[in-house]
Amino acid sequence: MKIIKRSGTEVAFNIDKIIAAVRKANHEVVENERLTDKQVDDISNNVADICRSMNRTLNVEEIQDLVENEIMNIKSFEVARKYITYRYKRYLVRKSNSTDQQILSLIECNNEEVKQENSNKNPVINSVQRDYMAGEVSKDITKRFLLPEDIVRAHEEGIIHFHDSDYFAQHMHNCCLVNLEDMLENGTVISEVMIEKPKSFSTACNVATQCIAQIASSQYGGQSITLSHLAPYVNVSRIKFRKIVEEEFRLAGLTLDENKINEVAEMRVKEEIKRGVQIIQYQVITLMTTNGQAPFITIFMYLDEVEDGTLRDDLALIIEEMLRQRILGVKNEKGVYVTPAFPKLIYVLEEDNIHEGSRYWDITKLAAECTAKRMVPDYISEKKMIEYKIDKNGNGNCYPCMGCRSFLTPYVDENGKPKYYGRFNQGVVTLNLVDVACSSEGNMDKFWQIFDERLELCRRALMHRHERLLDTPSDVAPILWQYGALARLKKGEKINKLLFNGYSTISLGYAGLCECTRYMTGKSHTEKGGKEFALEVMQYLNDACKKWKEQTNIDFSIYGTPLESTTYKFAKCLQKRFGFIENVTDRNYITNSYHVHVTEEIDAFTKLTFESQFQKLSPGGAVSYVEVPNMQDNLEAVLAVMKHIYENIMYAELNTKSDYCCECGYDGEIKIVSDDHGKLIWECPNCGNTDQDQMNVARRTCGYIGTQFWNQGRTQEIRERVMHL
């Protein structure tokens, strides 16, 4: 026999629940008015008999009505009254569910934390609100049904952060490297429509952007593509243009001069490249995914990713055009060129482009100009990455992160070849290191004991992420699992084989290493005594992941968490639990991952060199940055930093400023000030404008650029950043 729960699902009838509910009401009345055990059993059995005789499945409310009737039938009115009161109280609880209130507040745009949860989402827009509404429901389901109570409690208290619980109810993963090569070469399917191999470069770019939007709607994290997968289609266009130009010469009665034909065709190829890059830039930022924002997409630019010759020359042309168009920017609603948040660009520094006079030095100079103007590209050192990312064959590898900083571990396929594209991350749980330190009260033995307990909590939480993906059928996201973005599985086939053996990763995040070290040692982790402790903590995290991997055959990896809204949440939780501790909990943010504290005076070169040793211990993802002033008139300094990155650190970026005031046309740095109530606001230093709707502000948030403003914790962190150059 079945019953229908309030959620609409059918479950087996359980008479014990009726007995328990009646007994609970029974114990609420005075002893001489209580039912006997036999009467309780008779009521329960009568209800069961009625349910069996109904020839249909009753719902919970109907069954509770039957229970009330049976109690009333034996004239036990006090017990009936208590049972009715209990039902009514539960009804009120459901009616006033905090999820309902959260949804209503975000619809009316009066929830400050939700409004500033994501610096690239505008909470006023219907599609964003719809995504947030679904997210609140998912969070509620996750808390009440999908996660153990202790993990939920640890998340709410800021001891850990269970990332993206607003998507956890669905069987979705975090981020990926798109196998665009497979999708273009072998065709794909979008919304049940076959997309065949492109016949030109611009068409390939158009298909790529459509794939990007579809992928973004099927996962909740960042994705990356490489321009090397688009480069072969330049020659496809070249061959086509040569035939067209030759025919045009013939029809015009011109001499069929092969050099002239090739010259004209090459001009059209360059126009085609310009058109294709324009398609990528504008479609990526104008396409709206189902979560209410432009796709979180990173574009990888690595010259040595393709063989030398025509293919690499074509890739160089694409990279050059991508940089030129990004330098220009995109027009805002007033027609002024501003800095877009996406696509994020990554340029690989290598021997052929990092030295003055090297083969692609001019492209590197263009990249420096782009960084000075638009904050991207960010830079990967081929030299350092090959040193860090060693596969089981003993070979170094260079490949992009997924989105802003999440890196896969090296993987070799069944043919012994390295594989990056078509792989993904299963999800993230972050450990608040500051809470571990404060909970230990400075006792080192207690610190490591609590550390072990918290790591076990994180392991269990991560296993819940993994188990949520287990047995997921490929049908839930055909673009990912069936049509080439990540795999070519059959309909109905489960994705399980992609979750083990290192094909995908799962991430143990960490935050607040700086404050943790200060509390435990009294020193910054840039100082002797502090650094050694901080490195020991990092190694401890890595050792834990190694042990878990050996136990499960799942690739656990350490991830330098890019806290956005969570930095504020963690800070508030720490203050509530431990009060205000100087240089530890006295700010409305804690430091991302291993970073040097934003207020600490340190020069760019020293900072990058220092952080490189911690970045090496964050194989699942990390990025370092240096804060710099307007560098557009000092490209030599930008290039000097880039050369230092190449020699010293795997992945880094320069945080420049790129703002615009729509009221007065000021294009310098918009400042952060305090209003009369102490709230941090943005203000144009030229005209005093404080209307966020009348300014374009772009700031590096935590590996990516944000353009929709931030909560008070992150805003304080941005204001307190010192210059490193």
Say which of 425, 507, 588, 655 is annotated catalytic.
Answer: 425
Residue 536 a catalytic site member? no
Torsion sign over Cα 39, 41, 43, 49: negative
Torsion sign over Cα 82, 88, 94, 100: negative
Assigned token pair, 482: 């069936």
308 backbone dihedrals φ, ψ, rounded to 5°: -65, 155
Say which of 174, 439, 542, 696 is annotated catalytic.
Answer: 174
**How many whole angstroms separate alpha carbon 40 and alpha carbon 50?**
16
| Secondary structure, 3-state, 152-174 | HHHHHCCCEEECCCCCCCCCCCC
Q: Residue holding tokens 């930095």?
A: 567
Helix or strand or coil: residue 46? helix
Nearest in space to 649 (alpha carbons), one of 702, 608, 690, 592 = 608
Residue 158 a catalytic site member? no
Residue 175 a catalytic site member? yes
**Which CA distances in Å does 687 have to 334, 630, 697?**
18, 20, 15
Residue 241 CB partners (closer than 8 Å, separation 6+): 265, 268, 269, 272
User: Quick one: 82 exposed, middle or buried, by C-beta within 10 A (0-12, 13-18, 19+)?
Assistant: buried
Q: Do residues 700 and 693 lie in contact, with contact meaning Cβ atoms separated by under 8 Å?
A: no
Residue type, 340: P
**How many whole angstroms separate alpha carbon 587 and alpha carbon 443?**
23
Say which of 51, 183, 401, 402 is annotated catalytic.
Answer: 402
Cα dihedral 572, 628, 402, 284, rounded to 10, equals 100
Say which of 220, 510, 559, 660 is annotated catalytic.
Answer: 559
**Which CA distances in Å does 348 have to 291, 390, 654?**
31, 18, 14
**How many whole angstroms separate alpha carbon 292 and alpha carbon 663?**
27
**How many whole angstroms separate alpha carbon 712 and alpha carbon 443?**
32
Residue 402 a catalytic site member? yes
Q: What share of the chain is helix, strand, coil (3-state, %, to 5)?
A: 50, 15, 35
Residue 430 CB partners (closer than 8 Å, separation 6+): 160, 161, 163, 508, 509, 510, 511, 559, 561, 563, 566
Residue 516 a catalytic site member? no
Say which of 305, 564, 627, 653 is annotated catalytic.
Answer: 564
Say which of 502, 530, 703, 713 is annotated catalytic.
Answer: 703
Q: Do residues 698 and 659 lie in contact, with contact meaning Cβ atoms separated by under 8 Å?
A: yes
Say which of 51, 175, 631, 684 is annotated catalytic.
Answer: 175
Residue 532 a catalytic site member? no
User: Quick one: 649 exposed, middle or buried, by C-beta within 10 A (0-12, 13-18, 19+)?
Assistant: buried
Question: What single-letter DSSP state applies at residue 509?
Answer: E
Residue 685, Cα to own-chain centre: how many angstroms? Answer: 33
Residue type, 383: K
Say which of 51, 404, 642, 684 is annotated catalytic.
Answer: 404
Say which of 406, 524, 565, 612 is annotated catalytic.
Answer: 406
The radius of gyration of the chain from alpha carbons, rounded to an integer in Å, stands at 29
Q: Do residues 375 and 698 lie in contact, with contact meaning Cβ atoms separated by under 8 Å?
A: yes
Residue 540 a catalytic site member? no
- Supply the residues annotated as catalytic: 174-175, 402, 404, 406, 425, 559, 564, 703
